[in-house]
Amino acid sequence: MPQNKLLLTYFEPFGGAETNISQQVAEGIEAEGVIKLCLPVSFKRSPEVLREAVERYQPDFILCLGQCGEGEKIRLERFAMNLMDSEKGDNDGHQPDEETIEVNAPLALRTSLDIKQLQKECMHAELPTVLSNSAGLYVCNRTYFEALRSNSKSLFVHIPKNMDKSIALQIIIKIYGFF
């Protein structure tokens, strides 16, 4: 059987920071069938770069990593909202004000992966994860919307910026095994 292809995305730093934990964790992943892709923190360019990669590689699954500010657990995102809003702006200086992503699309898209089961498995392995019903309205959400639109077997994972990187890496490897 041909091996499954996983597109693994992560983000460049944003908001004046020098690093993004999603990038640092992604660097630790080396596995067959994994295609890594760095995305710009841009409402416009991130979905474009993702779309091109999806067309080129036709992945079976998409795992998107992003950084979040608070918390001690990795957040497994259930939905992407069809909305963009940001006061601080993205790396291009774009500040959408409650802008719809796509007029004829549903208000939210949902992953078809069994993230409840995934979260249980992580819990049994004592890996700190939590289910989340909102990926925010910033570039991560915009990117997740694009991923789900192209493949419902997509998952967005938010990593708290101060999380221990080796634990975060173990969780990402566990998620990888789940696909």
Q: Which of 68, 84, 147, 157 binds ligand PCA (CB under 6 A)?
A: 68
108 within 8 A of 137, measured Cβ to Cβ? no
Residue 127 main-chain phi, psi, to 5 deg: -105, 125
Chain positions 112 to 151 lying near ligand PCA, rule: CB under 6 A, are 136, 138-140
**Nearest CA among 84, 83, 86 for reference residue 105:** 83
Given 6, 11, 148, 169, the residue binding ligand PCA (CB under 6 A): 11
Decide if 68 contacts 13 (C-beta within 8 A). Answer: no
Provide, rounded to whole angstroms, the least separation between the CB of residue 22 and ligand PCA: 5
Q: Does 67 bind ligand PCA (CB under 6 A)?
A: yes
Known catalytic residues? 77, 140, 158
Strand 34-39 to strand 6-11: parallel, antiparallel, or no bridges (unpaired)?
parallel
Instruction: Quickly count: other Cβ atoms within 10 Å of residue 108's Cβ.
Output: 16
Q: Which of residues 5 and 94 has its CB atom nearest to ligand PCA in the complex?
A: 94
Total binding residues for ligand PCA by CB under 6 A?
Answer: 12
Decide whether 6 or 25 has the Cβ nearer to ligand PCA: 25
Neighbouring CB atoms inside 10 A of 96's CB total: 19
By CB under 6 A, residue 20 contacts ligand PCA: yes
Two tokens at 51?
A: 């779309």
70-109 binders of ligand PCA (CB under 6 A): none
Sign of CA dihedral 20, 21, 22, 24: positive
Least distance from ligand PCA to the Cβ atom of residue 138, Å: 3
Does 43 bind ligand PCA (CB under 6 A)? Our answer is no
Q: Which residues bind ligand PCA (CB under 6 A)?
A: 11, 14, 20, 22, 41, 66-68, 136, 138-140
